[in-house]
Homo-oligomer: A and B are copies of this chain.
Amino acid sequence: KKGWSPQQNLFYGFLTYVLVGFLLLLIPLFSKVHAPALDHLFIATSAVSTTGLVTISIFDTYNFFGQFIVMALFQLGGIGYLSFTTFMILSTTRKITVWHKKILSTEFTLPNTIKINDFLKSVILFTLIMETLGAILFFIAFKNEGMPTLEAVWSSIFHSISTFCTAGFSLFNDGFTGYVDNHFINIIISMLAISGSLGFIVITDFGMWIKHKAHKLSFTTKIIFYGFVLLLAFGTTFFYFFEPSITSLQGDSRFLSAFFQCMSAMTTVGFNTVDFGAFSQAMLIICIFLMYIGASPSGTAGGIKITTLTAILAIVKSRLQGSKNVTFLGKKIPMERLYIATSAFIFYTSLIVIGTFLITFTNDLKLDDIVFEVSSALGTVGISRGITSDLNTFGKWVIIFLMFIGRLGVLTFGLAIWARKSTNENNEILIEDIAV
Protein backbone atom coordinates (compact mmCIF):
# COMPACT_ATOMS: atom_id res chain seq x y z
CA LYS A 1 0.00 0.00 0.00
CA LYS A 2 1.25 3.44 -0.91
CA GLY A 3 1.95 5.83 1.98
CA TRP A 4 3.37 3.07 4.12
CA SER A 5 7.06 2.73 4.75
CA PRO A 6 8.71 -0.55 3.63
CA GLN A 7 8.93 -1.51 7.29
CA GLN A 8 5.20 -0.99 7.78
CA ASN A 9 4.49 -3.09 4.69
CA LEU A 10 6.54 -5.96 6.04
CA PHE A 11 4.86 -5.61 9.41
CA TYR A 12 1.33 -5.70 8.07
CA GLY A 13 2.26 -8.37 5.54
CA PHE A 14 3.48 -10.80 8.19
CA LEU A 15 0.56 -9.87 10.42
CA THR A 16 -1.85 -10.74 7.61
CA TYR A 17 -0.18 -14.13 7.10
CA VAL A 18 -0.44 -14.85 10.82
CA LEU A 19 -4.11 -13.86 11.00
CA VAL A 20 -5.12 -15.76 7.85
CA GLY A 21 -3.18 -18.79 9.10
CA PHE A 22 -4.84 -18.50 12.51
CA LEU A 23 -8.34 -18.35 10.99
CA LEU A 24 -7.64 -21.36 8.76
CA LEU A 25 -6.29 -23.42 11.66
CA LEU A 26 -9.41 -22.56 13.69
CA ILE A 27 -11.59 -24.44 11.18
CA PRO A 28 -12.48 -27.78 12.86
CA LEU A 29 -12.20 -29.54 9.48
CA PHE A 30 -8.40 -29.33 9.69
CA SER A 31 -8.01 -30.67 13.24
CA LYS A 32 -8.04 -34.18 14.67
CA VAL A 33 -8.91 -32.85 18.14
CA HIS A 34 -10.16 -29.55 19.53
CA ALA A 35 -7.51 -27.06 20.72
CA PRO A 36 -7.98 -23.62 22.35
CA ALA A 37 -7.93 -20.64 19.93
CA LEU A 38 -4.81 -19.17 21.60
CA ASP A 39 -2.86 -22.32 20.74
CA HIS A 40 -3.88 -22.04 17.07
CA LEU A 41 -2.68 -18.41 17.10
CA PHE A 42 0.55 -19.56 18.74
CA ILE A 43 1.12 -22.18 16.02
CA ALA A 44 0.28 -19.74 13.21
CA THR A 45 2.74 -17.16 14.59
CA SER A 46 5.36 -19.82 15.24
CA ALA A 47 5.01 -21.06 11.63
CA VAL A 48 5.05 -17.66 9.88
CA SER A 49 8.00 -16.61 12.05
CA THR A 50 9.71 -19.98 11.28
CA THR A 51 10.33 -20.47 15.01
CA GLY A 52 8.93 -23.92 15.64
CA LEU A 53 7.95 -23.53 19.28
CA VAL A 54 4.70 -25.41 19.90
CA THR A 55 2.18 -25.46 22.75
CA ILE A 56 0.34 -28.39 21.16
CA SER A 57 1.59 -31.33 19.10
CA ILE A 58 1.34 -30.66 15.35
CA PHE A 59 0.85 -34.34 14.54
CA ASP A 60 -1.69 -35.06 17.28
CA THR A 61 -3.73 -31.87 16.73
CA TYR A 62 -3.89 -31.35 12.97
CA ASN A 63 -4.88 -33.75 10.20
CA PHE A 64 -3.12 -33.77 6.84
CA PHE A 65 -4.79 -30.55 5.69
CA GLY A 66 -3.99 -28.74 8.94
CA GLN A 67 -0.39 -29.90 8.68
CA PHE A 68 -0.32 -28.66 5.10
CA ILE A 69 -1.50 -25.21 6.22
CA VAL A 70 1.25 -25.07 8.86
CA MET A 71 3.77 -26.05 6.18
CA ALA A 72 2.48 -23.38 3.79
CA LEU A 73 2.81 -20.78 6.56
CA PHE A 74 6.46 -21.55 7.34
CA GLN A 75 7.28 -21.81 3.64
CA LEU A 76 5.81 -18.34 3.12
CA GLY A 77 7.50 -17.00 6.23
CA GLY A 78 10.79 -18.59 5.27
CA ILE A 79 11.14 -17.21 1.78
CA GLY A 80 9.61 -14.00 2.97
CA TYR A 81 6.30 -12.75 1.71
CA LEU A 82 8.05 -10.11 -0.31
CA SER A 83 10.24 -12.33 -2.40
CA PHE A 84 7.14 -14.42 -2.99
CA THR A 85 4.85 -11.60 -4.00
CA THR A 86 7.59 -9.98 -6.05
CA PHE A 87 8.10 -13.29 -7.82
CA MET A 88 4.42 -13.17 -8.67
CA ILE A 89 4.83 -9.68 -10.07
CA LEU A 90 8.01 -10.67 -11.88
CA SER A 91 6.44 -13.68 -13.57
CA THR A 92 3.39 -11.69 -14.69
CA THR A 93 4.79 -8.26 -15.51
CA ARG A 94 8.48 -9.07 -15.95
CA LYS A 95 9.22 -5.73 -14.31
CA ILE A 96 9.69 -4.79 -10.65
CA THR A 97 8.60 -1.33 -9.66
CA VAL A 98 11.17 0.90 -8.02
CA TRP A 99 9.12 0.84 -4.88
CA HIS A 100 9.07 -2.95 -4.70
CA LYS A 101 12.82 -3.01 -5.14
CA LYS A 102 13.09 -0.82 -2.08
CA ILE A 103 11.06 -3.24 -0.01
CA LEU A 104 13.16 -6.13 -1.21
CA SER A 105 16.35 -4.42 -0.19
CA THR A 106 14.82 -3.92 3.26
CA GLU A 107 13.87 -7.55 3.53
CA PHE A 108 17.11 -9.02 2.32
CA THR A 109 19.53 -6.26 3.34
CA LEU A 110 21.47 -6.46 0.12
CA PRO A 111 24.59 -4.53 -0.63
CA ASN A 112 24.02 -2.49 -3.79
CA THR A 113 26.48 -4.55 -5.79
CA ILE A 114 24.09 -7.44 -6.32
CA LYS A 115 21.19 -6.75 -8.67
CA ILE A 116 17.70 -7.29 -7.31
CA ASN A 117 16.20 -9.20 -10.23
CA ASP A 118 19.04 -11.69 -10.55
CA PHE A 119 19.00 -12.14 -6.84
CA LEU A 120 15.31 -12.85 -6.65
CA LYS A 121 15.46 -15.49 -9.38
CA SER A 122 18.32 -17.18 -7.57
CA VAL A 123 16.34 -17.14 -4.33
CA ILE A 124 13.37 -18.95 -5.77
CA LEU A 125 15.42 -21.35 -7.85
CA PHE A 126 17.77 -22.11 -5.00
CA THR A 127 14.86 -22.71 -2.61
CA LEU A 128 13.11 -25.08 -5.01
CA ILE A 129 16.25 -27.04 -5.81
CA MET A 130 17.34 -27.39 -2.18
CA GLU A 131 13.87 -28.34 -0.94
CA THR A 132 13.39 -30.92 -3.69
CA LEU A 133 16.83 -32.37 -3.10
CA GLY A 134 16.17 -32.37 0.66
CA ALA A 135 12.83 -34.13 0.21
CA ILE A 136 14.38 -36.88 -1.92
CA LEU A 137 17.17 -37.48 0.59
CA PHE A 138 14.72 -37.45 3.51
CA PHE A 139 12.52 -39.95 1.66
CA ILE A 140 15.45 -42.35 1.23
CA ALA A 141 16.37 -41.93 4.88
CA PHE A 142 12.83 -42.46 6.17
CA LYS A 143 12.30 -45.51 3.95
CA ASN A 144 15.56 -46.94 5.32
CA GLU A 145 14.10 -46.52 8.78
CA GLY A 146 11.12 -48.60 7.64
CA MET A 147 8.52 -45.86 7.35
CA PRO A 148 5.46 -46.68 5.14
CA THR A 149 5.76 -45.06 1.67
CA LEU A 150 2.85 -42.63 1.87
CA GLU A 151 3.90 -41.42 5.32
CA ALA A 152 7.51 -41.14 4.13
CA VAL A 153 6.48 -38.99 1.15
CA TRP A 154 4.59 -36.54 3.32
CA SER A 155 7.21 -36.57 6.09
CA SER A 156 10.07 -35.92 3.69
CA ILE A 157 8.36 -32.95 2.00
CA PHE A 158 7.26 -31.46 5.33
CA HIS A 159 10.66 -31.83 7.02
CA SER A 160 12.63 -30.71 3.98
CA ILE A 161 10.76 -27.41 3.75
CA SER A 162 10.77 -27.09 7.55
CA THR A 163 14.56 -27.55 7.62
CA PHE A 164 15.48 -25.32 4.70
CA CYS A 165 13.27 -22.49 6.00
CA THR A 166 14.86 -23.15 9.45
CA ALA A 167 11.32 -23.49 10.78
CA GLY A 168 12.03 -26.51 12.94
CA PHE A 169 8.47 -27.86 12.83
CA SER A 170 8.33 -31.62 13.06
CA LEU A 171 5.69 -34.29 12.72
CA PHE A 172 7.52 -36.29 15.41
CA ASN A 173 6.49 -35.34 18.95
CA ASP A 174 10.01 -35.85 20.29
CA GLY A 175 11.75 -34.05 17.40
CA PHE A 176 14.70 -35.95 15.97
CA THR A 177 15.83 -37.55 19.24
CA GLY A 178 14.86 -40.91 17.72
CA TYR A 179 17.44 -40.34 14.98
CA VAL A 180 20.42 -39.30 17.13
CA ASP A 181 22.46 -42.22 15.70
CA ASN A 182 21.29 -41.82 12.08
CA HIS A 183 24.25 -40.12 10.40
CA PHE A 184 22.40 -39.67 7.11
CA ILE A 185 19.50 -37.73 8.62
CA ASN A 186 21.91 -35.64 10.71
CA ILE A 187 23.80 -34.67 7.55
CA ILE A 188 20.68 -33.91 5.47
CA ILE A 189 19.33 -31.58 8.17
CA SER A 190 22.70 -29.88 8.68
CA MET A 191 23.22 -29.22 4.99
CA LEU A 192 19.72 -27.91 4.38
CA ALA A 193 19.65 -25.75 7.49
CA ILE A 194 23.12 -24.28 6.89
CA SER A 195 22.21 -23.47 3.28
CA GLY A 196 18.99 -21.77 4.30
CA SER A 197 20.45 -19.90 7.23
CA LEU A 198 23.71 -18.79 5.66
CA GLY A 199 21.45 -17.11 3.23
CA PHE A 200 20.85 -16.58 -0.40
CA ILE A 201 23.32 -13.74 -0.54
CA VAL A 202 26.25 -15.81 0.66
CA ILE A 203 25.30 -18.75 -1.51
CA THR A 204 24.85 -16.52 -4.58
CA ASP A 205 28.19 -14.92 -3.90
CA PHE A 206 29.79 -18.35 -3.53
CA GLY A 207 28.05 -19.54 -6.67
CA MET A 208 29.42 -16.63 -8.70
CA TRP A 209 32.84 -17.21 -7.17
CA ILE A 210 32.83 -20.85 -8.27
CA LYS A 211 31.49 -20.05 -11.77
CA HIS A 212 33.65 -17.05 -12.60
CA LYS A 213 37.22 -17.12 -11.41
CA ALA A 214 37.35 -13.32 -11.76
CA HIS A 215 34.60 -12.85 -9.17
CA LYS A 216 35.90 -11.86 -5.76
CA LEU A 217 33.97 -12.81 -2.64
CA SER A 218 32.47 -9.76 -0.95
CA PHE A 219 33.72 -8.61 2.45
CA THR A 220 30.29 -9.40 3.93
CA THR A 221 30.34 -12.97 2.61
CA LYS A 222 33.80 -13.55 4.04
CA ILE A 223 32.81 -12.16 7.44
CA ILE A 224 29.69 -14.32 7.55
CA PHE A 225 31.51 -17.45 6.41
CA TYR A 226 34.46 -17.14 8.79
CA GLY A 227 32.21 -16.07 11.65
CA PHE A 228 29.91 -19.03 11.07
CA VAL A 229 32.72 -21.59 10.96
CA LEU A 230 34.38 -20.10 14.05
CA LEU A 231 31.19 -20.08 16.12
CA LEU A 232 30.30 -23.59 14.96
CA ALA A 233 33.72 -24.88 16.04
CA PHE A 234 33.44 -23.02 19.35
CA GLY A 235 29.98 -24.39 20.24
CA THR A 236 30.67 -27.92 19.03
CA THR A 237 33.87 -28.10 21.09
CA PHE A 238 32.10 -27.01 24.27
CA PHE A 239 29.18 -29.40 23.78
CA TYR A 240 31.52 -32.27 22.87
CA PHE A 241 33.73 -31.91 25.94
CA PHE A 242 31.44 -30.47 28.63
CA GLU A 243 27.76 -31.30 28.07
CA PRO A 244 27.02 -34.40 30.21
CA SER A 245 24.11 -35.56 28.05
CA ILE A 246 26.48 -35.53 25.05
CA THR A 247 29.71 -36.80 26.66
CA SER A 248 27.76 -39.86 27.74
CA LEU A 249 27.20 -40.81 24.06
CA GLN A 250 29.51 -43.29 22.32
CA GLY A 251 31.70 -42.96 19.21
CA ASP A 252 30.54 -40.87 16.24
CA SER A 253 27.24 -40.04 17.92
CA ARG A 254 29.04 -37.92 20.48
CA PHE A 255 30.63 -35.64 17.90
CA LEU A 256 27.58 -35.72 15.65
CA SER A 257 25.18 -34.65 18.38
CA ALA A 258 27.55 -31.93 19.65
CA PHE A 259 27.76 -30.58 16.12
CA PHE A 260 24.02 -31.00 15.48
CA GLN A 261 22.86 -29.15 18.60
CA CYS A 262 25.28 -26.30 17.93
CA MET A 263 24.30 -26.11 14.26
CA SER A 264 20.64 -26.17 15.27
CA ALA A 265 21.00 -23.19 17.62
CA MET A 266 23.15 -21.19 15.19
CA THR A 267 21.14 -21.75 12.03
CA THR A 268 18.06 -21.29 14.23
CA VAL A 269 16.48 -24.37 12.64
CA GLY A 270 15.74 -25.55 16.16
CA PHE A 271 15.65 -29.32 15.69
CA ASN A 272 17.23 -31.43 18.40
CA THR A 273 18.61 -34.97 18.67
CA VAL A 274 19.24 -34.75 22.42
CA ASP A 275 16.95 -33.28 25.08
CA PHE A 276 17.75 -29.62 25.81
CA GLY A 277 15.83 -30.05 29.06
CA ALA A 278 18.75 -32.17 30.27
CA PHE A 279 21.45 -29.64 29.33
CA SER A 280 23.71 -28.33 32.10
CA GLN A 281 23.45 -24.66 33.14
CA ALA A 282 26.83 -23.69 31.70
CA MET A 283 26.03 -25.25 28.30
CA LEU A 284 22.65 -23.49 28.34
CA ILE A 285 24.56 -20.20 28.43
CA ILE A 286 26.63 -21.27 25.39
CA CYS A 287 23.41 -22.27 23.68
CA ILE A 288 21.71 -18.96 24.49
CA PHE A 289 24.76 -17.14 23.17
CA LEU A 290 24.62 -19.07 19.87
CA MET A 291 20.88 -18.39 19.49
CA TYR A 292 21.53 -14.76 20.33
CA ILE A 293 23.94 -14.42 17.41
CA GLY A 294 22.20 -16.58 14.81
CA ALA A 295 23.77 -16.54 11.36
CA SER A 296 23.56 -14.45 8.21
CA PRO A 297 21.44 -11.30 7.68
CA SER A 298 20.20 -12.51 4.28
CA GLY A 299 19.23 -16.01 5.38
CA THR A 300 16.26 -17.44 7.23
CA ALA A 301 18.03 -17.37 10.60
CA GLY A 302 17.08 -15.11 13.52
CA GLY A 303 19.35 -13.54 16.12
CA ILE A 304 21.35 -10.34 15.89
CA LYS A 305 23.35 -11.91 12.98
CA ILE A 306 27.10 -12.41 12.57
CA THR A 307 27.50 -9.07 10.80
CA THR A 308 26.08 -7.19 13.78
CA LEU A 309 28.31 -9.17 16.14
CA THR A 310 31.29 -8.18 13.98
CA ALA A 311 30.39 -4.48 14.18
CA ILE A 312 29.91 -4.80 17.95
CA LEU A 313 33.28 -6.51 18.39
CA ALA A 314 34.93 -3.89 16.19
CA ILE A 315 33.50 -1.08 18.33
CA VAL A 316 34.75 -2.53 21.60
CA LYS A 317 38.14 -3.49 20.16
CA SER A 318 38.70 -0.06 18.60
CA ARG A 319 37.50 1.69 21.74
CA LEU A 320 39.77 -0.33 24.01
CA GLN A 321 42.72 0.41 21.79
CA GLY A 322 41.85 4.08 22.16
CA SER A 323 41.41 4.40 18.39
CA LYS A 324 39.02 6.95 16.90
CA ASN A 325 38.05 4.90 13.85
CA VAL A 326 36.25 1.59 14.07
CA THR A 327 38.01 -0.97 11.95
CA PHE A 328 37.65 -4.70 11.41
CA LEU A 329 40.27 -6.77 9.59
CA GLY A 330 41.79 -3.50 8.44
CA LYS A 331 38.57 -2.12 6.93
CA LYS A 332 36.97 0.99 8.34
CA ILE A 333 33.31 0.44 9.21
CA PRO A 334 31.09 3.46 8.42
CA MET A 335 29.65 5.33 11.42
CA GLU A 336 26.11 4.89 10.12
CA ARG A 337 26.45 1.11 10.02
CA LEU A 338 27.83 1.05 13.55
CA TYR A 339 24.86 3.10 14.70
CA ILE A 340 22.47 0.51 13.26
CA ALA A 341 24.40 -2.40 14.74
CA THR A 342 24.45 -0.88 18.23
CA SER A 343 20.74 0.01 18.05
CA ALA A 344 19.94 -3.57 17.05
CA PHE A 345 22.15 -4.95 19.83
CA ILE A 346 20.63 -2.71 22.50
CA PHE A 347 17.04 -3.23 21.37
CA TYR A 348 17.48 -7.00 20.99
CA THR A 349 19.10 -7.35 24.42
CA SER A 350 16.40 -5.19 26.03
CA LEU A 351 13.66 -7.33 24.49
CA ILE A 352 15.22 -10.49 25.95
CA VAL A 353 15.43 -8.88 29.40
CA ILE A 354 11.88 -7.50 29.22
CA GLY A 355 10.46 -10.77 27.87
CA THR A 356 12.24 -12.74 30.58
CA PHE A 357 10.97 -10.39 33.27
CA LEU A 358 7.36 -10.49 32.05
CA ILE A 359 7.27 -14.29 32.03
CA THR A 360 9.14 -14.65 35.32
CA PHE A 361 6.72 -12.15 36.84
CA THR A 362 3.62 -14.09 35.79
CA ASN A 363 4.71 -17.72 35.61
CA ASP A 364 6.10 -19.94 38.34
CA LEU A 365 8.92 -21.37 36.23
CA LYS A 366 12.71 -21.55 36.59
CA LEU A 367 14.71 -18.52 35.45
CA ASP A 368 17.15 -20.49 33.24
CA ASP A 369 14.28 -22.23 31.44
CA ILE A 370 12.60 -18.86 30.85
CA VAL A 371 15.72 -17.10 29.51
CA PHE A 372 16.24 -20.09 27.21
CA GLU A 373 12.64 -19.98 25.95
CA VAL A 374 12.69 -16.21 25.41
CA SER A 375 16.01 -16.33 23.54
CA SER A 376 14.68 -19.18 21.45
CA ALA A 377 11.51 -17.23 20.58
CA LEU A 378 13.16 -13.91 19.71
CA GLY A 379 15.89 -15.72 17.76
CA THR A 380 13.14 -17.76 15.98
CA VAL A 381 15.04 -20.92 16.95
CA GLY A 382 12.34 -23.03 18.52
CA ILE A 383 14.31 -25.24 20.89
CA SER A 384 12.87 -25.41 24.40
CA ARG A 385 13.50 -26.78 27.86
CA GLY A 386 9.95 -28.10 27.64
CA ILE A 387 8.07 -25.24 29.30
CA THR A 388 6.20 -23.92 26.22
CA SER A 389 2.91 -25.67 26.98
CA ASP A 390 3.24 -24.88 30.71
CA LEU A 391 3.07 -21.12 30.04
CA ASN A 392 -0.10 -19.35 31.13
CA THR A 393 -2.14 -17.21 28.71
CA PHE A 394 -0.06 -14.08 29.33
CA GLY A 395 3.17 -16.03 28.92
CA LYS A 396 2.00 -17.44 25.59
CA TRP A 397 1.18 -13.93 24.39
CA VAL A 398 4.67 -12.76 25.33
CA ILE A 399 6.22 -15.57 23.30
CA ILE A 400 3.87 -14.85 20.38
CA PHE A 401 5.02 -11.21 20.34
CA LEU A 402 8.69 -12.19 20.61
CA MET A 403 8.46 -14.68 17.73
CA PHE A 404 6.72 -12.11 15.55
CA ILE A 405 9.25 -9.36 16.35
CA GLY A 406 12.11 -11.82 15.96
CA ARG A 407 11.06 -12.78 12.42
CA LEU A 408 10.45 -9.19 11.41
CA GLY A 409 13.77 -8.08 12.85
CA VAL A 410 13.87 -5.83 15.90
CA LEU A 411 14.77 -2.69 13.97
CA THR A 412 12.22 -3.28 11.22
CA PHE A 413 9.62 -3.83 13.90
CA GLY A 414 10.64 -0.65 15.73
CA LEU A 415 10.66 1.41 12.56
CA ALA A 416 7.27 0.05 11.50
CA ILE A 417 5.75 1.11 14.82
CA TRP A 418 7.60 4.28 15.73
CA ALA A 419 9.06 5.79 12.57
CA ARG A 420 7.87 9.31 11.90
CA LYS A 421 5.98 9.95 8.69
CA SER A 422 8.79 10.53 6.27
CA THR A 423 9.42 11.95 2.82
CA ASN A 424 10.70 9.80 -0.02
CA GLU A 425 14.21 10.99 0.69
CA ASN A 426 13.93 9.80 4.26
CA ASN A 427 12.74 6.43 3.05
CA GLU A 428 15.97 6.03 1.16
CA ILE A 429 17.83 6.72 4.37
CA LEU A 430 15.79 4.22 6.33
CA ILE A 431 16.53 1.51 3.82
CA GLU A 432 20.22 2.23 3.73
CA ASP A 433 20.27 2.23 7.51
CA ILE A 434 18.82 -1.19 7.96
CA ALA A 435 21.44 -3.00 5.91
CA VAL A 436 23.14 -4.75 8.80
Binding site for B on A (CB under 8 A): 5, 242, 281-282, 284-286, 289, 312, 315-316, 319-324, 335, 338-340, 342-343, 345-347, 349-350, 353, 356-357, 360-361, 367-368, 411, 414-415, 417-420, 422, 426, 429-430, 433
Contacts and interface: CB of A to CB of B under 8 A. Distances in A.
B426 A282 contact: no
Nearest to A326: B339
Most buried by B among A316, A347, A353, A422: A316
Given A281-B367, A312-B346, A343-B315, A417 B320 contact: yes
Contact of A411 (B319, B356, B360, B417): B319
A315 B342 contact: yes
Contacts of A429: 322, 324
13 contacts: A5-B322, A282-B360, A285-B357, A312-B346, A315-B342, A316-B347, A316-B350, A319-B433, A320-B415, A322-B419, A335-B335, A342-B346, A367-B367
Contacts of A281: 360, 367
Most buried by B among A338, A340, A347, A367: A367
Contacts of A357: 282, 285-286
A428 to B, nearest CB: 11
A414 B415 CA distance: 34
A350 B317 CA distance: 13
Contact of A346 (B315, B324, B430): B315
A282 B361 contact: yes
B285 A321 contact: no
A435 to B, nearest CB: 14
Given A315-B339, A316-B346, 4 more contacts: A316-B414, A319-B347, A320-B411, A323-B420
Contacts of A5: 322
Nearest to A368: B367
Contacts of A411: 319-320
A284 B324 CA distance: 38
A346 B345 contact: yes
B360 A414 contact: no
Contacts of A360: 281-282, 285
A286 B285 CA distance: 20
B319 A414 contact: yes
A319 B345 contact: no
Nearest to A315: B343
A343 B356 CA distance: 24
A322 B5 CA distance: 11
Contacts of A349: 349
Contacts of A368: 367-368
Contacts of A367: 281, 284, 367-368
A324 B282 CA distance: 40
Contacts of A343: 315-316, 319-320
Contact of A353 (B289, B312, B316, B430): B289
Contacts of A289: 353
Nearest to A357: B285
Contacts of A312: 346
B361 A340 contact: no
Most buried by B among A242, A315, A429: A315
CB-based closest 9 A-B pairs? A320-B414, A319-B343, A322-B419, A282-B361, A320-B418, A342-B342, A282-B360, A367-B368, A285-B357
A420 B285 contact: no
Contacts of A335: 335
A420 B346 contact: no
A262 to B, nearest CB: 16
Contact of A319 (B286, B315, B319, B340): B340
Nearest to A421: B322
Nearest to A343: B319
A242 B357 CA distance: 13
A321 B420 contact: yes
